[in-house]
Structure 1
Amino acid sequence: MTLRISVIGTGYLGATHAACMAELGYEVIGLDVNAEKLQALSAGILPFHEPGLPELLRKHVASGRLRFTDSYEEVAQRADIHFVTVGTPQRADSQSADMSYVDAAVDSLVANISGEALIVGKSTVPVGTARRLSERIEATAKPGSKISLAWNPEFLREGFAVKDTLTPDRLVYGIQDDTCLAKLREVYAPILALDTPEVVTDLETSELVKVAANAFLATKISFINAFAEVTETVGGDIKTLADAIGHDARIGRKFLNAGVGFGGGCLPKDIRALQARVSELGLSQTMGFLDEVDQINLRRRDRVVSLASSILGNQLAGKRICVLGVTFKPDSDDVRDSPALDIAVRLYNSGAEVSVYDPEGNKNAAGRFPRLNYVESWREAAKESDLVLLLTEWKEFRALDPQELGEVVSSRVLIDGRNVLDRPLWRDQGWVMTGPGEKFDLAED
């Protein structure tokens, strides 16, 4: 019998998981309370940018394996395994994660399940959430029903979400009994057949794995950016420094690129939520270092704004600035907590005329801050600009020709906020340029 799966919440994580489960051959029903989103997904239209996912969505909507609804009654009747993939955003009044969406999803499922079912949490939650929900399920389940809870954290990278779902680095299950384990292994059998590492553990460990991974990555990024602050003062080559220490297998080279810092909907939120949770547990000093990680990250934005101001004679008012990229990373349209967008907004608020081009992020950025001048090409953004800022390392920007760009700007001055351009090549073409980790003296350049 074909497994029948529901996915509760069809945002970035949910839509990806639903389409990929259909690709594995299962009958999948996705649930959301947003009627506009459901209409788009049912028509095979993905409401966000993610390479490879639109094709899977259209394929399985057409095949009939994947459908969408807003009815908890329907998903309770049509599925036996329910993946909860709703968001856990930072609360408006604190650094804690907002658990209202997860709680509401689980409560609604339990209220409609009459037989046997497995609820599998994939959302990133504070440690202790699964245990609390398990007790809540036991107390509120219908008489005669048998509902189990497991936790199966996600490790998706925007731009690689399909790959990370179908061929993940590892699968982690937080379980309470062998029956849950057997069901999860049945779901993931095609992936396990590829020799994917499997980690079987308790609920608490499974909850901590995702936030621990994100806290480590955030720390590694801020670590190299802290050294960038040093080399910006005393001199030195931050890329060579990163290469040198990255050869050490205990350290590794990945995530050691000095830049404008991390952003997006996960790393900033998750490290803050982790700090809030351990503080609730009476361990406020345990994750205190993450506050400095956060502060180092935010200082990178300050550095770029200060550098831009210095280059432009400490007078930003009326200056034309071209910003290339406003998403927090390439191959995504996500501008949540984006360093690039924050920098562009700060420059605008200081009086500069800011023109922005991003291959996928203009629409979302305009929704958050409509007063920037969003244009449809790098050429239009750079026209007669006094300063160019490369803030998201899209392939299109990495491949820019210094002579071609130089023909449209007023001044050949560029801040490479991601350290991805060949500085000697650009300088040979008459560009004054700098980037994170470089000691910069405008008079010398």
Structure 2
Amino acid sequence: MTHHVACIGAGFVGGPLGVIIAYQCPTIRVSVVDKDQGRIDAWNSTSPPFYEPGLEDLLATIRQRTIESSGPLEDFERQSIENNLSALQQAQSNLQFSTDVNSAIQEADIIFLCVDTPTRSSGSGKGCAPDLTNVQSAVRTIAQVANSNKIVVEKSTIPCGTSAMLRDLLHACSCHQVRFEVLSNPEFMSEGNAIADLLSPARVLIGSQQTPAGRDAAEVLAALYRKWIPPASILTMDCWSSELAKLAANAMLAQRISNVNSLSAICEATNANVDSVAVACGFDPRIGSHMLQSGIGWGGSCFQKDILDLVYIARSLNLDHIANYWASVIEMNDYQQNRFLQRVVSCMYGSVAGRMISVLGFTFKENTSDTNNSPAISVVKGLLDEGAIVSIYDPMAPSSQILATLRLPEAELERLQICQSPYEACYSADAIIVGTGWDEFRTSSEHPVAEPYLTMNGTNSASLTPPLEKPGRLDWTQIVYRMREPKFVFDGRNVLDGEFLAKLGCRYVRVGSASAWDTVGPSNNKIYV
């Protein structure tokens, strides 16, 4: 029976996983540990280190459950605990965030490896193979500290065959006479939907060594998951298959997006509409409609890294045709981003030098604060390289994170502004680019085309924060009114109502549809410069 679970790594994988286990299994102690004190401090505050819908609510529920389980409290005592999360963590909570890695290892029955596995930046496999330095470091620590039998679970995405390597490393470095069983249990969380994915996963994979001890360990982990996941959704297999299935799943999802994006290029060069094409294809039950939304490309921490890992494996096995096939998925994504940038420049009469361009959204997708490999990165850098003046607004990515992601030279920083509101970002813009499909950016045909108003403040300048027509949504009437002529809106996520914006006087350009403002193509109504 499992009494204590540890998650090594308090990032996007380990943090939410620990929260869900603690939430679903009140009798099991959960320790989420990390060497990064700042990250742990964030987890022990009221604001986790990253945004994920539902995460803060679950943390609050667990902490409130802790207060209630501690028995009757006087009002002043309850207020004291609620204001002091460190005290709260000690009040019989089954969820702990700490930097004490050794204690977590010693006390845990099951240890989840949730550390980062970035792509190698040097050495053999540079640019493709994953860097297992963090994984190996964690495993060596487990081997040296563990004083009782442990089940070690690969949660991080790792290459095929890693479980065997970790098993050998654990036994070779062990300082005590203990047994280790290594399982593969890849995560299938989608950023922005991680909590729902953990609460109701489509499937849970558990790979084990095909021995009695390996199968027993797999059953222990399966029993933990069965506390909230239907048994039919838990699949057991060998470690190699489980490890490869994770890479294959992400590669296929990225490939699906690249498929529809490749069709968007054909649609823009003709009079076809990529949304209509996607709907027609999606009606075929063998294809389905999921993830057929065209845009400026995919991003995030997983897709590119996992495809590169798959490419590396194929090349290592001398399967060059297979490697080239999967590498082309990344090439198509890069091409889509570059093509979008060139279309912006082309529509704006071949030059954006000195033009003010607003980028709405910088995270790689909506409902997350992750900016890793965001398509907006290449768009912003490309615009700056073309001489544009760029303003950025994102509701969840802080300025410091955006700057750290871009890593711009000083000369380009002078032409970049990170804004605290979309109205500030779009004020006097020559063009607006929607880089992320945040709900607040969306339009609908329900919005009336009202006479624009212009309020004045004490400094005799226009107010940048007018009241919204709809709570949480932008007032596009006011956004467009404050733009400079000619007013371009480039919809990189196809989330805007083009007809509505056209009535406001915009030159609207979307992915996967020909535009009157394109300067190339067969359409007779296009403008050539």
TM-score category of the 2 structures, normalised to the smaller one: over 0.9
1:444, 1:74 → 2: CA distance? 68
1:207 matched residue in structure 2 = 243
1:85, 1:227 → 2: CA distance? 37
2:219 matched residue in structure 1 = 182
**What does 1:152-171 align with in structure 2 at a 5 Å threshold?**
152-171=185-204
1:58, 1:39 → 2: CA distance? 16
Contact 1:151/1:206 (8 A) holds in 2: yes
2:179 matched residue in structure 1 = 146
2:478 matched residue in structure 1 = 404
2:427 matched residue in structure 1 = 383
1:428 is displaced (CA, Å) by: 2.6
1:312 is displaced (CA, Å) by: 2.1
Quick check: 1:395 aligned with 2:439?
yes
Gaps of 5+ in 2: 67-92, 444-473, 518-524
Contact 2:372/2:405 (8 A) holds in 1: no
Mark the structure with the bigger radius of gyration.
2
Contact 2:356/2:390 (8 A) holds in 1: yes
1:278 matched residue in structure 2 = 314
2:254 matched residue in structure 1 = 218
Quick check: 1:293 aligned with 2:329?
yes
Could you list the structure 1 runs, at least 4 aligned residues long, displaced by more than 6 angstroms after superposition.
Answer: none
1:358, 1:188 → 2: CA distance? 36
Question: What SS does the aligned partner of 1:282 have?
Answer: coil
1:129 matched residue in structure 2 = 162
Contact 1:141/1:147 (8 A) holds in 2: no
2:495 matched residue in structure 1 = 420
1:47 matched residue in structure 2 = 49
Question: What SS does the aligned partner of 2:383 have?
Answer: helix
1:244 is displaced (CA, Å) by: 0.3
1:80 is displaced (CA, Å) by: 1.0
Give per-residue Cα distances to partners, 1:130-152, cap 9 Å, x unaligned: 12111222333344211111111
Amino acid in the other structure paired with 2:45: A
1:11, 1:212 → 2: CA distance? 23
2:117 matched residue in structure 1 = 88
Quick check: 1:56 aligned with 2:70?
no
1:373 matched residue in structure 2 = 417
Quick check: 1:235 aligned with 2:264?
no
Contact 1:171/1:198 (8 A) holds in 2: yes
1:59 is displaced (CA, Å) by: 4.0
Question: What SS does the aligned partner of 1:190 have?
Answer: coil
Amino acid in the other structure paired with 1:134: R
1:168 is displaced (CA, Å) by: 0.8
1:179 is displaced (CA, Å) by: 1.3
Aligned pair partner of 2:504 in 429, 433, 437:
429
1:33 is displaced (CA, Å) by: 1.0
Number of corresponding residues:
444
TM-score (norm 2): 0.81
Question: What SS does the aligned partner of 1:285 have?
Answer: helix
Contact 2:181/2:217 (8 A) holds in 1: yes
Question: What SS does the aligned partner of 1:92 have?
Answer: coil
Give per-residue Cα distances to partners, 1:245-298, cap 9 Å, x unaligned: 110011111111111000011101111121012212222322321221111111
Give per-residue Cα distances to partners, 1:131-177, cap 9 Å, x unaligned: 21112223333442111111111000111111111211111100122
Amino acid in the other structure paired with 2:3: L
Question: What SS does the aligned partner of 1:262 have?
Answer: coil
Say what the alpha-carbon RMSD is for the aligned residues: 1.7
Gaps of 5+ in 1: none
Aligned pair partner of 1:319 in 355, 363, 368:
355
Question: What SS does the aligned partner of 2:323 have?
Answer: coil
Quick check: 1:344 aligned with 2:369?
no
Change in 2 beyond 3 A, CA 1:136/1:129: same
Query: Percentage identity across aligned positions?
Result: 31
1:11 matched residue in structure 2 = 11
Amino acid in the other structure paired with 1:165: L
**What does 1:248-287 align with in structure 2 at a 5 Å threshold?**
248-287=284-323
2:228, 2:317 → 1: CA distance? 36
1:383, 1:69 → 2: CA distance? 45
Question: What SS does the aligned partner of 1:82 have?
Answer: strand
Which deviates the most, 222-231 or 307-316?
A: 307-316
Amino acid in the other structure paired with 1:210: K
2:453 matched residue in structure 1 = none
1:162, 1:323 → 2: CA distance? 28
Question: What SS does the aligned partner of 1:16 have?
Answer: helix
Change in 2 beyond 3 A, CA 1:404/1:44: closer
2:467 matched residue in structure 1 = none
Amino acid in the other structure paired with 2:299: G
Contact 1:362/1:374 (8 A) holds in 2: no
